[in-house]
Amino acid sequence: MKALKTNDLRAKSVPELEEMVRIERAALYKARRDLVFRQMTDVASLKVRRHNIARLLTIIEEKKRGATS
């Protein structure tokens, strides 16, 4: 799992970003489940996924705030 680039994300629309958040959250859930069942050993990917979700949510909020003001 690699980190998402902020510049690439800013070019996307809000619905696209929200879909990406949904996909990342599902992947994070699956990774946590795999970790519990010892099917995964790469714990660093959990941190990357959490940071990606936070990055996406931040950009969504920036876009929504920019559209209203």
pLDDT in tens, 52-63: 999 999 999 999
| Rg of the chain in Å (alpha carbons) | 14
Backbone φ, ψ for residue 2 (5° rounding): -115, 155
- Output the pLDDT for position 4: 87
Q: Is the pLDDT of residue 13 over 80?
A: yes
Does this model's pTM top 0.85? My answer is: yes
**Structure confidence at residue 1 as a pLDDT band (50, 70, 90):** low
Residue 67 DSSP symbol: H
Computed from CA positions of residues 30, 33, 39, 41, in that sequence, does the dihedral angle turn out positive or negative?
positive
The predicted structure's pLDDT at residue 69: 56
Per mean pLDDT, which range of 1-5, 10-14, 62-66 is the poorest? Answer: 1-5
**Segments making up each domain of the chain, as ranges:** 6-64
